[in-house]
Amino acid sequence: MSPKDRSPQSGTSPQKGTAGLTRLINAFRYSCSGLAAAFRHEAAFRQECALAAVLIPVALLSATSGVGKALLVGSVMLVLLMELINSAIEAEVDRVSLERHPLAKRAKDIGSAAVLVALVNLVAVWVLVLLG
């Protein structure tokens, strides 16, 4: 079966048939598409990108060691990562149903909690690295 013959109903992604450089190029394109969609549709992601645009240069210009800089930048990137995952969870829950349901609320709340934990981590890392 060629990749074009696979349908969404088959449960097999058409991209699974590609290999090597083609697969990597496709994966990169899908990742860029996901970043663009998050930026276009998610206000929280845009706000966190603005925060990252400020904090990452500050981290790189800080008078800390290489490890300190890596921790500062990594904590910022973790917030972006958690926001992307949270946005994906919310989009999928909304795709399934817009009805209020306890499990949908739980999924969305847990995704939001992951972002909160990443933000608390960011503050803790920055305080410890810069003041510790």
d(CA 54, CA 73): 11
Active site residue 83: yes
Catalytic annotation, pick one of 42, 48, 83, 92? 83
Contact 113, 85 (CB under 8 A): no
Distance CA 6, CA 62 (A): 51
Calpha distance 132→24 (Å, rounded): 41
Residues 72 and 125 sit within 8 Å (Cβ to Cβ): yes
The Cβ of residue 116 has, within 10 Å, a number of other Cβ atoms equal to 13
Q: Indicate which residues carry an active-site annotation.
A: 83
